Chains A and B, each alone.
With several copies, the nearest count.
Chain A
Amino acid sequence: MTEIAKIDNGTDIVDDLIVCIVNNRDYLSEIDGAIGDGDHGINMAKGFNICKHRIDGKNLSLAEAFETLSDSLMEGIGGSMGPLYGSIFAGWAEAVQGKKTLNSNEFKEMLLKGLSELQEISSAKQGDKCLVDTLIPAIESFKKANESGKTFHEALIIMKQAAHDGRESTRNLVAKIGRASRLGERSKGVLDAGATSCCLLLTQLIDSILKRII
C-alpha cells in the first residue's frame, strides 16, 4: 500500500535537473541581473554542464549521480553556489546511499539531510531573500504532509506548491545577504535568483519522483 519510487536510474534523474538549469541559464541570469550581478544562470549552468560531461553515458545510482553533481559544483565553480548547492546534493547523495527505491519517509530524510548539510556552512535564514526561502518551506510542507498521513504522491504535490510559494515570497523581501543586499529597500519587488533556481530544481525533482512512483 505504501507508495515507493524506483530511483535506480540516477543518471536520468540528475540529467533532468541539468537540462532544467541549462535551459533556464539566461532566465536565471536575467533575474540575478535585476538586483544581483547577473551571473546566476552562468554560474549554475557552468557547474551543471560539468556534471553533464561526467555522467554522460554512465549508468549511475541516484547516490552516485547526486555525488557527481555535488562534486561538479564544488570543484567546478567554487564561489558560493558551489559549496551551497554542493552541500545540499552531497546530503541527498548520502541519504540515498545504496537505495534503489525511495518511500515518502526516505525522501523526507533525504531533504532534511540536504538542509542540514547546507546549514553546516550557511547561516542564511528564511526571509533573507535567498535560496532557503524556497528550500525551507518546501521541505517543511513535505514533512508536515508526510507526518499528517498524506501519501507520497500527495505530499510531493503539496511540496511543489510550497516551493512555488516560497520562490514567490522572495518578491516582497528585502535582501539581507548576497549582492542584492547592497540595494536595501530597492531589492524589493523582484524575485531572488537563488530562490528561483531552487524552485526549478525542486519542481523538476518532484516531477521525476512522481513519474517513478509505482
Chain B
Amino acid sequence: MIMNRIINDPDLVVEDAIEGYVAAHPDFYAKTDNARVLKYSGSVKKGKVGIITGGGSGHEPAFLGYVGKNMLDAVAIGEIFSSPTAGAFLEAMKVADTGAGVACLYGNYAGDNMNVKMAIKKATAAGVKVKTVVANDDIASASASEKEKRRGVAGEILMWKIAGAAAAEGYDLDNVIAAAQKAIDNCRSIGVGLSSCTIPAVGKPNFHIEKGTMELGIGHHGEPGIKVVPIETAKEMAKTMLDPIMEEGIFEAGSEVVVLVSGLGATPVMELYIYYAEVERLLRANKVKIYKCYVGNYFTSLEMMGVTLSVMKLDAELKKLVNLPACSLGLVQE
C-alpha cells in the first residue's frame, strides 16, 4: 500500500496531526485529559457560555481550526471521517463549561448524533448543562420536507461564528442556542465533487468520480449526491448550485447574506475565486446583497477536488454577530 502522503503510521494520522497542532500553536490549543480533545488556551471569561463541536478528522481547518477567540472553546476530534467518541464529546463539554452551560454545535451524522447523545447523559449526570444545535444546511442530502435528515456541512462554520460571537457578547445558554439555531436555519449549502480522496488507513480512494463528470450534492465524506452530470463551467456550476438554494425560498430580493465558498481540499484557490465571481454575479442578478463573504479552504475533505457553496440570510442580530472580530486558525477577522 504505497501512498504519496506525508504521514508516519497511517493508523495514527490523527494523533500525529494533533501533536503538530499543539506544538505549532500553543497560543490556541491546550491539551486536556482526553487525547482527542483540545481546548482554547486563551483566556475565557468566567460565566461565558462554552461553545464546542466535534467531528471526524480530514476536514481541516474544520473542526479544530475554529477553536479560538470568540469562536470555539473546545473540540472533540474523531478518526478520519468518523465521529469522535462519546467520551471525547463529554470531555469537551466538561472543559468548556465555566458554569454557564455548554452549546454543543455539530453536524447531523449518525455517529455524531449517537455519541453526543451518550455524552450529554453523562455530562448532565456530572452537572454540566448542555444544549445542542444540529446543523443540517446541506440541501442535497434530503428534501425540504425531510429537513431533519439533512447533513451539516460548511454552514457549520457560520453557526460557530455566530454562536462564538453571541457567547462573547454575554448571551446566556438559551440565547446562544437560539442564535446558533437561527444561523443554521437561515443557511443553505450544497457541494459539488470533482474527484475522490483516500483515507490513509484505507489506502485506496473512498469512492469514484468518472473523469469528465461531477457529482452534484456530494457530501463531505463522499456521501451520495443528487446526480452525476457532465462537468460544467464555473458559470454553469454556480447556477446549478445556486438555483436549488434559491428554490428553498428563504432568500428574497433585498435579502442580505453571507456567502461562504469552500474548497474541498485539492481545488486550487484561484478556481474558488473564479467560482465566487460567478456566484456574486448571479446573486446580484437576484438582487440578493452579499454583506460578507468567505472564500477559501474552510471545510475540506482531505484531497477531494470540488467546492461547497453556503448562503446564510442575515437579520440585524446576525449582522452584528457575524461582524464581531474572531481569531482562530481557520477564520481570523478584525
- A interface residue numbers (CB < 8 A to B): 29, 33, 37-39, 42-43, 46, 74-80, 82-84, 121-122, 177, 179, 181-184
Contacts and interface: CB of A to CB of B under 8 A. Distances in A.
Interface string B84-118: 11111000000000000000000000110011011
Interface stretch (B154-162, B199-207, B237-245): B199-207
Interface in B175-225: 199, 201-204, 206-207, 221-224
A75 B199 contact: no
Nearest to A71: B87
A193 B11 CA distance: 20
Contacts, number: 83
A179 to B, nearest CB: 7
A45 B86 CA distance: 19
A69 B222 CA distance: 30
B114 A121 contact: yes
A83 B199 contact: no
Contacts of A181: 224
Contact of A74 (B86, B110, B207): B86
A76 B199 CA distance: 19
Contacts of B87: 74-75
A39 B114 contact: no
B270 to A, nearest CB: 17
Contacts of B199: 37-39
B202 A179 contact: no
A79 B111 contact: yes
Interface of B: 11, 56, 78-79, 81-88, 110-111, 114-115, 117-118, 199, 201-204, 206-207, 221-224
A181 to B, nearest CB: 7
Contact of A82 (B85, B117, B204): B85
Nearest to B206: A37
B201 A83 contact: no
B85 A74 contact: yes
A46 B88 contact: no
Given A78-B85, A79-B83, A79-B111, 9 more contacts: A37-B202, A39-B202, A42-B202, A82-B86, A82-B115, A122-B110, A122-B114, A181-B224, A182-B224
Given A74-B87, A80-B111, A182-B224, A43 B82 contact: yes
13 contacts: A38-B203, A38-B204, A39-B199, A43-B79, A74-B87, A75-B85, A77-B82, A78-B79, A83-B115, A121-B114, A121-B117, A122-B110, A122-B114
A196 to B, nearest CB: 17
B126 to A, nearest CB: 16
Nearest to A37: B206
A43 B207 CA distance: 18
Given A78-B79, A79-B111, A121-B117, A42 B11 contact: yes
A183 B224 CA distance: 7
B224 A76 contact: no
